[in-house]
Amino acid sequence: MLHRGLLIAGREVDAVNGETFPVFAPETGRTLATVARARAGDVNLAVNAAREGFVEWYRKSASEREAVFLKAAELVANEGEARFLDTLIDESGSAIRKARREIQYTVDLLRTAAGEVRRLYGETFPNDDPHKISLVIREPLGTVAVVSPYNAPLSLLTKMAAFPLAAGNAVVIKPSEETPLTALAFGQLLLDAGLPAGAVSVLPGFGSECGAELVNHPQVDSVALTGSTQTGVLVAQQALKGMRRVQLELGGKSALLVLEDADPQQAAAIAAQGIFTHAGQICMANSRIVVDRKVYPAFIEALKREAESITLGNLRDEETVYGPLINGRAVEKVLEQVRAAVQDGATLLTGGELSSAGPLVIKPTVILQPPKHSAVWREESFGPVTCVAQAENLGDAIALANDSEYGLSAAVLTNNLQWGLQAARKIRSGAVHIGMHSFQSNALAPIGGVGMSGFGRSGGRYSTEEFTEVKWISADTGGLPV
Ligand code: NAD
């Protein structure tokens, strides 16, 4: 049986108290490894290492720091499949196509982070007293706690860790307890690329034990959390007590609007991709679809066909769209939401049960007209389930899109650019995409939400701003400028 430790100061070590936990493959239920289980003592070691790692890293020149990210990108471009593919498939239940996209996106993210190293811009501004000059410089925060989820364990972690590092911070990573192996491989990648040993540590462990200790540690300067809203609220409260900066990318209930001029077949294909990729375990998945009544009958017929033609199961088959959910609790939650909605009067168009493709595989599920108080309409499902509501017109569609406490992403399918832009401006959301589904990524884009989807943005310069602080330096030059 494979055994893995914690990665602290460049060395793989067992937990201080010697505890471990098993990591399972969702597809087969097989135990993949036992992993060291970090708690307070281990958090201390990693945070202390980060203090030293930060100094060493921040003292390096921009070109030295840039070279680390370029090397890491090159390693992923050349060896990404060897380093990550099997682990992504086995540990997170990713279909091979999704795992490959994650690896490719990781290359983009690392190259973008390399560019950010040279963009720690400051500014100057005029002073009322002409003897004086003012400078605004941008400085890293110090140690950033990175607490990551299981659904895209490589690319999301890369986005969360690489940009704070590019700005000169050290990071201590607490990956999801479901996916520590991918995170350990990522930590090793950064070390192989030349990152100073203390600047990155990876602490496998549980949220309430290791995660809570880390985000509350007095020597942690900032927290980046991607996870559920429930966890985000807890972490934000704790961070505020210690006056620590926090950036939160949380849950979503993203709406896809299909307006009256959209082609129903094409819209259904886009909608299916936007919800069923990785079994809907995507924060920005379009788990609510709002369809203008003029195209509603044709759209739901086409969506049923799309859903029922999706290839499920074998994760190493190139045709497979998705396989299992991460664990049995996730399956139970999703099926319960569907049962409750149907009991409450919603119509089940298709799915709503386990597939024969594997023990944790749920069939693509579409629910029509769920009551607006139902969990399937209001709460995140994080499964292959979407619900369809009918709208009278554009205004009604926008109102339905806004009928959510979340606001992570949204999308509008129309050929009328004015309608698309009106919807984009009126929908309360961190992003709105026109002519596409709601699950879009770009290493330069400001990713993040409003409302219960969190606050702060990550990606490119937006991460640089999140994980740095500006400092005003003024000086009396002792004379006039001319
Ligand atoms: P989760 O909230 O259960 O866990 C996320 C991380 O937080 C894990 O590492 C976990 O161990 C840790 N954690 C849990 N309790 C903690 C505590 N008290 N203190 C510190 N850390 C704690 O989320 P998950 O189930 O792993 O991931 C799925 C969720 O992530 C979904 O809600 C999804 O929408 C969200 N997500 C959001 C985005 C985004 O960009 N907004 C992206 C991906 C996933």
Residues 352-389 have pLDDT tens digits of 999 999 999 999 999 999 999 999 999 999 999 999 99
| Residue with the two structure tokens 């100061």 | 9
| 177 C-beta closer than 6 A to ligand 1 | yes
| 459 C-beta closer than 6 A to ligand 1 | no
Cβ(460)–Cβ(113) under 8 Å? no
Q: Strand 454-455 vs strand 245-249: parallel, antiparallel, or unpaired?
A: antiparallel
pLDDT of residue 420: 98
Report the distance separating Cα 256 and Cα 333, nearest Å: 23
pLDDT of residue 186: 98
Protein residue with least CA distance to atom 20, ligand 1: 211
- How many angstroms separate the alpha carbon of residue 93 from the centre of ligand 1? 17
Report the distance separating Cα 409 and Cα 356, nearest Å: 32
| 213 C-beta closer than 6 A to ligand 1 | no
- DSSP string covering 193-204: TT--GGGEEE--
- How many angstroms separate the alpha carbon of residue 348 from the centre of ligand 1? 29
The per-residue pLDDT of the chain, averaged, comes to 98
Probe target for ligand 1 pocket from 109, 160, 228, 442, with the most ligand atoms within 8 Å of CB: 228
Report the distance separating Cα 129 and Cα 111, nearest Å: 43
Report the distance separating Cα 203 and Cα 24, nearest Å: 18
pLDDT of residue 344: 97
Look up residue 276 and give its two tokens: 């069923």
**pLDDT tens per residue, range 192-208:** 999 999 999 999 999 99
- How many angstroms separate the alpha carbon of residue 123 from the centre of ligand 1? 36
Q: Is 283 a catalytic residue?
A: yes
Question: Count of CB atoms within 10 A of residue 416's CB?
Answer: 16
Protein residue with least CA distance to atom 8, ligand 1: 176
pLDDT per residue of the chain (482 residues) written in tens, 0 to 9: 999 999 999 999 999 999 999 999 999 999 999 999 999 999 999 999 999 999 999 999 999 999 999 999 999 999 999 999 999 999 999 999 999 999 999 999 999 999 999 999 999 999 999 999 999 999 999 999 999 999 999 999 999 999 999 999 999 999 999 999 999 999 999 999 999 999 999 999 999 999 999 999 999 999 999 999 999 999 999 999 999 999 999 999 999 999 999 999 999 999 999 999 999 999 999 999 999 999 999 999 999 999 999 999 999 999 999 999 999 999 999 999 999 999 999 999 999 999 999 999 999 999 999 999 999 999 999 999 999 999 999 999 999 999 999 999 999 999 999 999 999 999 999 999 999 999 999 999 999 999 999 999 999 999 999 999 999 999 999 999 99
| 408 C-beta closer than 6 A to ligand 1 | yes
CA dihedral for 352, 356, 362, 368, sign (positive or negative) = negative
Report the distance separating Cα 136 and Cα 126, nearest Å: 12
pLDDT of residue 360: 97
| 156 C-beta closer than 6 A to ligand 1 | yes
Ligand 1 atom closest to the CA of 231, numbered from 1:
2
Probe target for ligand 1 pocket from 94, 144, 147, 429, with the most ligand atoms within 8 Å of CB: 147
Cβ(259)–Cβ(412) under 8 Å? yes
| 173 C-beta closer than 6 A to ligand 1 | no
In sequence order, which ranges of 242-357 are alpha helices (DSSP H)? Answer: 264-276, 296-308, 328-343
- How many angstroms separate the alpha carbon of residue 249 from the centre of ligand 1? 9
Q: Which domains, from first to last, does the chain contain? A: 3-250+453-471 (3.40.605.10), 255-434 (3.40.309.10)
Name the percent of the chain in helix, strand, coil, to the closest 5: 40, 20, 35
Q: From the candidates 177, 283, 380, 387, which is the catalytic residue?
A: 283
The structure's pTM equals: 0.97
Burial class from Cβ neighbours inside 10 Å (0-12, 13-18, 19+) for residue 277 reads: buried
Pick from 33, 97, 24: nearest CA to 328: 24
Cβ(247)–Cβ(466) under 8 Å? yes
| 232 C-beta closer than 6 A to ligand 1 | no
- How many angstroms separate the alpha carbon of residue 284 from the centre of ligand 1? 14
Q: From the candidates 102, 116, 249, 306, which is the catalytic residue?
A: 249
Q: Is 387 a catalytic residue?
A: no
Question: Which stretches of 235-297 are assigned E, i.e. beta strand?
Answer: 245-249, 255-258, 288-292
3-class SS of residue 369: coil
pLDDT of residue 54: 98
Look up residue 92 and give its two tokens: 């997170």
Look up residue 385 and give its two tokens: 């389930």
DSSP type of residue 47: H
- How many angstroms separate the alpha carbon of residue 232 from the centre of ligand 1? 7
Max CA pair span of the chain: 81
